[in-house]
Structure formats: C-alpha cells, structure tokens
Amino acid sequence: MAVTAPPGFTPELWEIFERDGIIFLEDALAPEEITHYTEALDRITAADSKFDPNETFGRENVVELDAALAELIDHPRHVGYAYDLFGEQLKLHISQFFIRPPGMTKRNLWHPDGARAVPYGVFSPRLPMQIKIGYWLTDLPETSMGNLVVLPGSHRHQYVDEYDTHELIPGELIVKVKAGTITIMNSSIWHRVEPNTSSTIRKNIFFAYCPAWITAADRILSDPTWLQSLTREQRIIMRSYEHGYSHAKPPASEFPLFLDRDTGTATDDGVYREDVQLHRRKRRTKAEEWIEA
C-alpha cells in the first residue's frame, strides 16, 4: 500500500530555493542521529583498505554499504523536497559521503554537478534536473574547515570565468553550518571546496535525486538481494531496471510511489476518464503548481 508523500517545500522555502539555488534547514538532525550516521561512515572507512586518514576520502553508492545509510533513501525528513520536483518518477541519482581532514590536498574546483558539454540548464532553464541533499555531521563555524562554497543564484548561469579554479568570486557564500544541518541544493549551482587548515575533520553525506530517466551516477544495477531488504518505496526510488525503457515508463506496480500529501489520492482529479490506467496518467508535481501560480 502506498504511503502519503512526506512534507517538502513551503512557498517561502521554494522562493529562496529558486532565487539562491540552496536552502538551509538547521537542527534537522538530533544529536543521536548525528552520531548514528557518523558511526556508519566510521564503519565503512574502517573496512576500506584505501582509506587514508590524512587525505580526502569518499565513497559512492553508500546506501548499499550500511543499513544506516540505506534508511536515508526515502527518509521523510528530506525526500519530500525531491518528490516536489520529480514526482512519481523520483530516482536516487547518487549517494556519497566525504571525509575532509586537516591538511587535505584534494578538494573540488569551481564546478556545477551533472553534464558539462550540454548542461542540464540547456534543457530545463528553470527547474533543476538534479537536486542534492546534504547531511552535515560536523560543526563548521569558521572558514578554512573544508567548507562547501557556493555562488548563490549561479544555477541560472552556464558559464563562470573561474571554472576549474579555486579563485574567490564576489558574492560567493562559504557554508558555515552546525552539525545536524541539512542543505538542499540545485545541482546546477556553481560550487567548490575550501582548504581545511583547522583541527576538525569534516564529515558529510550527500544524496542526489533526479528523474528516473536520467542515468544514475554510481551504479548500473543494484544488488538483487540487497534490494529485497528495502521497503517498497526505497526499491522504487533506486530504479534498478534491467530493461532500459523502464526508466522512462516504470512498471505499473510502482504507481503510485506516494499519495498526494494534501488529498491522500493517487490521481489528479478531473483530468482523465476513469478507464485510463494509473501508470499511464500524468501527475502534476508541486513545482509545476508553484510555477503556474
């Protein structure tokens, strides 16, 4: 049985997200939840022979590495924001974490996420085709702590002169957050990473979502045995299809992914005749409603 879509954007948050390309949800995680997810990262790094505590370290497809991270696939504290954008074709694009210790030498230059030769914005100038959810597990109250740096509003621009550099850009925002903060970011926003000259090890998790018909970034197919350990909604969001066209036309059994959070229904009223099957019906997203309002 389908469940109701979790909460997502408010009109106020949507306005900020459209303007800046990023929003901040402070105190989204309780202290015990921060510990819970931090311990998951520690378990993964302890088991990885490539882990170097003195250098930037990251893993992808982390949902398959630890059950504590798998529970985040459709966690109600954040998945509603992605559902507001991608609706019934919501897909997990990538799950990853980063550990950025003091003195690290590897850090990202200015870039947007996603395609480079023909960026997402060519096809969708207003709505993002990828949204990135950040879970911040470390207090980052100052600069030079391996901080994320973003250029607010730059998700609307496909060219930045400082691309592939660490040069400062007027108007850039060095992200200084408390542990337990969640960020929700348009993946087309230009961003980079600060050096870490502090004594703090930065730890964070990213979950990016996209429409089902965009290729996943960290997998082709998920492990079938692992998939059986997931809930119905989690399995759907992983979109592990052997037939390519299923990404555009998912199986009928996967509809609805969620019921409408306002009406509790699986369809949009008054749009189709009753004989049209559910999986063949278009369902409006919240983002569509806001744009047309």
Cα distance between residue 291 and residue 285, in whole Å: 10
Cα angle 104-108-127, degrees, rounded to a multiple of 5? 145
Q: For the domain with range 3-292, which CATH number is right: 1.10.3720.10, 3.40.190.10, 2.40.40.20, 2.60.120.620?
A: 2.60.120.620
> pLDDT below 50 — which residues of the chain?
none
In this structure, the number of other CB atoms found within 10 A of the CB of residue 176 comes to: 14
pLDDT for residue 11: 94
Owner of token pair 């694009």? 93
In this structure, the number of other CB atoms found within 10 A of the CB of residue 268 comes to: 13
Q: What's this model's pTM, rounded to 2 decimal places?
A: 0.97
The end-to-end CA distance of the chain, in Å, is: 32
Phi-psi region of 30 (alpha: psi -120 to 50; beta: other; left: phi over 0): beta
User: Could you tell me the CA-to-CA distances from 238 to 9, 45, 134, 212 in Å, in that order?
Assistant: 22, 23, 18, 9
pLDDT for residue 292: 82
HSE-CB at 83 with a 13 A cutoff on CA atoms is 26
pLDDT for residue 293: 67
pLDDT for residue 290: 86
Domain limits, the chain:
3-292
pLDDT for residue 66: 98
Cα distance between residue 131 and residue 55, in whole Å: 27
Pairs from 12-21 (Cβ < 8 Å, separation ≥ 24): 14/84, 14/287, 14/290, 17/184, 17/186, 18/126, 19/152, 19/153, 20/152, 20/153, 21/150, 21/152, 21/153, 21/154, 21/155, 21/156, 21/185, 21/186, 21/188, 21/189
Q: Quick check: 184 and 133 in contact, CB under 8 A?
A: yes
> Which two three-digit tokens encode residue 290?
């806001």
26 closest CA partner among 148, 183, 207: 183
